[in-house]
Amino acid sequence: MAAKKKKKTKKTSKKPVSVVTGAAGFLGSHLADLLLKKGHRVIGIDNFVTGRVENIDHLAGNGDFRFIQQDVTEFLFLQGDVNHVWHFASPASPIDYAHLPIQTLKVGSLGTHKALGLAKEKGARFFLASTSEIYGDPLIHPQNEDYWGNVSTIGPRGCYDESKRFAEALAMAYHREHKVETRIVRIFNTYGPRMRLKDGRVVPAFVSQALEGKPITVFGDGSQTRSFCYCSDLIDGIYRLMMSDYDLPVNIGNPNEMTILEFAQEIIRATSSKSRIIRKPLPTDDPKQRKPDITRAKSILKWRPKVKLADGLERTIDYFKRRIES
């Protein structure tokens, strides 16, 4: 009698599960897109204080995306496995954290605590979206990850700067005490579609003013410097860091530095605007220089920005044109 052949069973690979706080924000929504593209199931969390429904509208009906409207400073309870927790929730523009100083401090402290608690409970890897603002108004240039910063704890920007500095310290405490795998990125100026027109950051401010024919407002004499990284480059670097074995902070940004006055002139050219440039007093504690040293990212992550400023601005300006016209 012939032996019965065993039925072949189809192998199925379980998709990794990623929780993204701040998923309806500018960067959180772009991260959700990348994770879905890479085969993750994504659970997005946002309370829409600064995030927007339209940033994730296109994910409606996607079986791998689930959205929870919740304040992350409250207890995060999720059933099932979680492999990665990406903590992006926070106001991120000077206008936002000037209006929401206490909420900014709470999401950086209590929100980070709750997100780390979820990662600890699930045995998940934790990612913190920190910021170049932890360097304050820097005394070294460019800024590398070993620099401790020059921050005013009591100044108007202190609520954001110190919330992120505390978040980094808390993440490292969980890493050392509870053995949570943590990853920390320090994000430098980033731009692209899904930024809010009136969020106060320099790119949407200059672009919206230029498109509407309004004067472009430069604070101070315009000699302060910034460097601008397109969102797809940043998200690529963030993903590489999360999937790496490196547990100390890493700068991600574009090191091509320019003055704010030069950037205003670039926006006028890119939009073919007739806007003129006007000047107003420099805000308190506004950093005079901002340029990342990305040696660590290039060495450890094999990452460097690819999108040229002209190309990134073209995509961003097209997005803002549609927003203004709609």
The single-letter DSSP state of residue 184 is: E
The single-letter DSSP state of residue 186 is: E
Paired with 251 in beta bridges are 186
- Distance of alpha carbon 260 from alpha carbon 254, whole angstroms: 15
Catalytic status, residue 147: no
Peptide bond preceding 16 in cis form (omega within 30 of 0): no
Tell me how far apart the 2 most distant CA atoms of the chain are, in Å.
94
Q: What's the start-to-end Cα distance of the chain, in Å?
A: 75
Q: H/E element holding 117?
A: helix 112-122
Angle between helices 202-211 and 309-325 (to 10 degrees): 60
Per DSSP bridges, beta strands 257-259 and 41-46 are: unpaired
Helix boundaries (H) for the chain: 26-37, 94-99, 101-106, 112-122, 158-178, 202-211, 231-242, 260-271, 295-296, 309-325
Q: Which residue from 293, 325, 260, 319 is spatially nearest to 52, judged by alpha carbons? A: 319
Token pair for 228: 């601008």
- Of the candidates 135, 160, 191, 230, the residue annotated as catalytic is 160
- Distance of alpha carbon 191 from alpha carbon 226, whole angstroms: 12
Residue with tokens 């979680």: 82
Which residues are catalytically annotated? Answer: 160
